[in-house]
Structure 1
Amino acid sequence: MSTESGVRLVPEDALPAGALPESTLPESASATLVRFRDGVQARLSGRWVAAHAPAVEAAAGQIAGAAREGGRVQIDLSGLARLDTLGAWVLERTRAEIEAAGRAVDYAGALPEHRILLREVAYRETAPAGARRRAGPLDAVAALGAGVRRLGREVVAWVGFLGETVAACLRVLARPRSFRGAALVNQMEQIAFRGAPIIMLIAFLVGCIVTQQGIIQLQRFGAQSYVVNMIGILTLRELGVLLTAIMVAGRSGSAFTAEIGSMRMREEVDALRVMGLDPIEILIVPRILALMLALPLLAFLADLAALAGGALTSLLYGGMSIDAFLSRLQTAVSYRHAAIGLIKAPFMALIIGVIATSEGFAVEGSAESLGRHVTASVVKSIFMVIVLDGVFAIFFAAIDL
């Protein structure tokens, strides 16, 4: 008896076990069901591929229907002309359905490539979606707690990564010839030389804006000359280094994450380890050292640019000459204010470098993962830089500086 799906049902004595029909293999997917005392054997033939999807589905349905009559089910793949992902998935789905009905199923005559394909597309039952419930106040508290716990784990991971970096720096100090000076110079060029124009421009504009708003507000009290004190202290202690760190985190930190993440995706980091090289020494140490050297320089240039913007705005809006601005600036600020701002720069650079490079090493083998970690690198770096600036502000206030 034959069916339109290409499935033929023959009695046990029509074909000996393991024998194929004498006719040539058909192009379309087909199966021969042979009944035995303890079950049924499905002998597949033809091309179980996507091009013959209707025949594949029909044949698989007939196999599942024959299995309902009880006994063991064996699927013989020795007569297959071709098997692709769709055919393998349909077979796995049929196997899962038969097993769910309490029948034993096994494959026979499968080539090694067939077994690999069947294993890779193994059918898995998806869990049904639970009933959606409304979020309550406790859910918000639980989400906050989970976020804090996740942040704690990330901080611990950053500290561990920092420890690996410090150990790599000590190894470089013990073997100075292994230090990659060319990589350090290249990173200094990318961070400091190429980043200086945009950072100085932004600092100049921010200095102009802050000074202009300060003059407008202080004019109400006839104290517009005190805008020099405001812009001088604010720029040297906080604004210059904070703007620089945020810009460096967005520009250079994201570049670090993208570069190292791309190397992870192309398995170049694993290749370095196979070659006997330490990726921390090769990739991380030059970048973090370059950041720690470049950020104070950029912060100093940002201070000068912001003060220049303040001087120009004071001239245009407040009628204060450049000489008067500089004279009052000398009495309003001292080296102490500039030192407080510049002291923060290496620590902010270290935080940016550790977060950016650790996020790069966490990238997996997809573009989605790369984009996610680049975004996380920038957000976490800016957040931690602001937190560190607040810690320094509290510390300097406590020691009366």
Structure 2
Amino acid sequence: MRTTRTQVGIIGAGPAGLVLAHLLRQRGIDCVVLERQSRSYVEARIRAGVLEHGTVDLLTSLGLADRLHRERMVHHGIELLFERTAHRIPLTELAGREITIYGQHEVVKDLIAAWDGPLHFSVSSVALSGLSSGAPFVSYVDAAGVAQELVCDVIAGCDGFHGVSRAAIPPGVLTVHQRDYPHAWLGILAQAPPSSDELIYAHSPRGFALHSMRSPAVTRLYLQVRPDEDLDEWPDERIWSELRARLDRDDAWELADGPILERSVAAMRSFVVSPMQYGRLFLAGDAAHIVPPTGAKGLNLAVADVKVLADALTSWYAGGDRAGLDAYSATCLRRVWRVQHFSWWMTSMLHPTGDDPFDLALQLSQLRYVTSSRAAATSLAENYVGFPFP
């Protein structure tokens, strides 16, 4: 077994792990990134595409946003469509900040391309040990089949919901909060120009639909379906027919279609563990929390986590100040629960759950209020564009 040493071992080369690596490198802190998937898989993994103002600012400050600024789509509002009528929420006017449309896989490509430090793809047999000691370590097998041991001061678990980091914490330490929703999203990526300049969130008696985009030539669309939905029951013709039905409105509007490039069904859940740290292990992003996609918060919440962690590590290495590390979980969870509430609220307002006329009347009442009250619309806008990072 080969043994190497670094200051921070980062498990996972998604947005959380890669942004943390760049933050640490900027501050003179050594780190090594380990990823179980191949580089091609990580760079092609289709995920969210809405970036908060704070996320864009952070990437810009790191010098990692040149392509983002060239290719992004800046949005100053969203549409809420219900009762066949569209209502615009002017995000920038109400909250003073815009949102950016730029695919998560494009962010990952930019982060990898700019990274010149140790980054090991296709590792296997990853195990975390000594977490409560002063020298935790990660054992793994590299892509060449060589057993490796990485000794660290700190380990950052940025390896997602199914990763090894959270599972390495002893039983009984974590409190788990979880809610599973009775619906899922069928998402497609289509070679078709967007049919709207901004995102459309549609409440329909047939179910929720979302019209989003990735570029001027590629559209991202979603349909509310059952969690156990069979993709084989959704040929292209049915998908486009259902999208047109749910996005239909009284004014003149037409949905552009095209070849479907990718399709998948994603279950919806809310998940939070507390605390987000154990000994010298700190969890970030999906390793610690999952939010429903309705609020477009997953990537942005992960970036906020690692910003807090990078600041805390900077203070610790600079002068031994542990206050930020000790408060890491509490600091992050304040934002996590605000985002959880907003994502739950958006989900419950927009997704019909059955034939209960009482639930339907409550949803429509909330939608009418949000689109007629400036105060209610401002609250939605502030949460949607995201609050400044700590």
Where is the helix percentage greater, Structure 1 or Structure 2?
A: 1
Bin for the TM-score computed over the shorter chain:
under 0.3
Where is the strand percentage greater, Structure 1 or Structure 2?
A: 2
Larger relative CO (CA 8 A, sep 6+): 1 or 2? 2
Using the size of structure 1 for normalisation, the TM-score is: 0.25
